[in-house]
Structure 1
């Protein structure tokens, strides 16, 4: 029950965004929120997460295992995408979106609810790994339909989150102290990033028409996100040498629903943002239905936490 209660604020802010758009309509410019989030608040979240705890073995291995599993599934979906989808933008969304989980907005608070505050460094670093995947892999696939390969790579290099992450790793590696007042400002910015992401999702959700949803795309994405990726993720976690606590945290991050950041990218590169919103909605509903079973699955393999 405590776990289910912990995700109530997530749905509250989504509903807030939906209500705001319904009430104010054209006075709410969703792309302005996307730009604010992607270019300003997200880099703050990246820096805050990467400077939360000193770098140790578990801190390094947890995101690596996450990425091993994700890129293993990438190979599979690259092979099957052309057989499933004829439309090039549907293929792009399927490849770029299917593996981008909500490791920040849901993963971090859910980790606190299940494992306590000591899980934050691990959920944060996995969230950063997920952001690297977004900035490099997903951005490339979204951009390639609109730009040449050279311009796609340049668009990745222009993303502030990538450079902020590298800077944060250097700060953490050399143990440069961060003043407590600055740390508090960073924390405020990080939480603001989470809130604005959920509101953006609600804003796009308000324009969604269920009858016009691309169900084929949404259900195939959810099949990858909620069945294939968790299976591969469990395999990698069980064959790692992480302790059961950290392994449980990593396993949980494979199971979270699709990230709202997917909507940001689709909007920035004009790649069917409402179809992506629909996929995120379907994934979130499926996650809510499977959450109880996911928790017992983690306990079955790794014991109580």
Structure 2
């Protein structure tokens, strides 16, 4: 358990640094510029590094397929229920997708290593890949939809470079391309810069965020969906599947991850109440500190 706590705290330290930086320099730090640099440039490096550092094994596709299936089931539930609960287009967009976009990479991978060991890495890598596609297709569409029409929202998906970088990286991996030492180091530098900047940006957005100003109904819905409905459905689906217990556990833990900082990036990019989304990510991250131990205990019954 101590390794899990250390994995979480070692990541959260960058969030604290971002908060302190914004507190110290205030308007001198332009969060919009940092967000654009991260999404349009650094995350391309993160995508190539994540997909080329290890070959994609077709036999590993069971885990991400099940993960995606559960996410799509819950997305349909969220689409219809959130429509009835929220009349504001921006709140509806947040309520629809925020809870299904979890932190499967920065947080999910190290926590799974702490629980299952390094043999979990190939599975968490491909699950994170699926989550990236969810973020930059479904996530982009709904966050964009809060401000733009359907046509523009669909175009916003296409014009993001990370989606094309993912496709190119997958094709290169399938054809057996292995980056040389120099290229691998370059990609790694960009990848770690992206992950650090993403956490740093979250800390920046935390400054000035007032949780009490966020709609209580939105908080209740997102947190209930994230930590009650989603794990309940995931547990039921996984319980009846004939699958290795470690793979079941990895899928379950990845689905339990708190809201990803990517929610904040997209909410900021498409002007969909980024401060509200930041508050939701923060609340889910705090609750997760207790929920993770319940989730680990639940693995015994899968």
**TM-score of the pair, normalised by structure 2:** 0.95
In the other structure, the counterpart of 2:56 is 55
Q: Distance in 2 between matches of 1:263 and 1:130?
A: 15
> 2:115 maps to what in 1?
114
- C-alpha RMSD of the superposition: 1.5
Equivalent position of 2:101 in the other structure: 100
Distance in 1 separating the partners of 2:133 and 2:14: 25
Moved over 6 A (4+): none
Further displaced range: 222-231 or 240-249? 240-249
Counterpart CA distance in 2 for 1:211 and 1:114 is 35
Alpha-carbon deviation of 1:22? Answer: 0.3
Q: 1:232 to 1:43 in 2, by over 3 A?
A: farther
Instruction: Name 1:26's counterpart in structure 2.
Output: 27
- Alpha carbons 1:58, 1:246 under 8 Å: kept: no
2:100 is paired with a residue whose SS is coil
Relative distance call for 1:240 and 1:57 in structure 2 (3 A) is: farther
- Is the alpha carbon distance of 1:121 and 1:83 closer, same or farther for their aligned partners in structure 2, counting shifts above 3 Å? same
Q: CA deviation at 1:257?
A: 0.2
Match of 2:217 in 1: 216
Q: 1: distance between equivalents of 2:43 and 2:72?
A: 23
| Mean CA deviation greater in 77-86 or 23-32 | 77-86
Corresponding residue for 2:236? 235
Deviation at 1:200, TM superposition (A): 0.7
Structure 2 residue aligned with 1:3: 4
Report SS of the residue matched to 1:98. Answer: helix
Supply the distance in 1 between the matched residues of 2:91 and 2:24 (Cα, whole angstroms): 31
Deviations 1:108-154 (A, max 9, x none): 11122222223222212211111111111111112223222222211
Gaps of 5+ in 1: none
Specify every segment of 5 or more residues in structure 2 that has no aligned partner in the other structure, as ranges. none
How many residues matched? 301
* Counterparts in 2 of 1:176 and 1:210: CA distance versus 1, 3 Å: closer
Q: Which position in structure 2 is the counterpart of 1:139?
A: 140
Residue 174 of structure 1 pairs with residue 175 of structure 2: yes
The aligned residue for residue 149 of structure 2 is 148
SS at match of 1:172: helix
User: Larger deviation: 210-219 or 3-12?
Assistant: 210-219
What is the TM-score when the length of structure 1 is the normalising length?
0.94
For 2:119 and 2:17, the matched residues in 1 are separated by 30
Q: Deviations over 1:280-303 (max 9, x none)?
A: 1111111111111111111332xx
- The alpha-carbon distance between structure 1 residues 3 and 196, as it changes in their structure 2 partners (threshold 3 A), is same
Q: Distance in 1 between matches of 2:119 and 2:182?
A: 22
What is the Cα deviation at residue 57 of structure 1?
Answer: 4.1
Give CA deviations for 1:56-112 in whole Å, capped at 9, x if unaligned: 344212111111000101111111112211222111110121210011111111122
Q: Which residue of 2 aligns with 1:293?
A: 294
Shift of 1:187: 2.0
Distance 1:240 1:192 in 2: 38
Q: Which moved more, 1:45-54 or 1:234-243?
A: 234-243
Secondary structure of 2:36's partner?
A: helix
Measured in 2, the distance between the counterparts of 1:11 and 1:246 equals 26
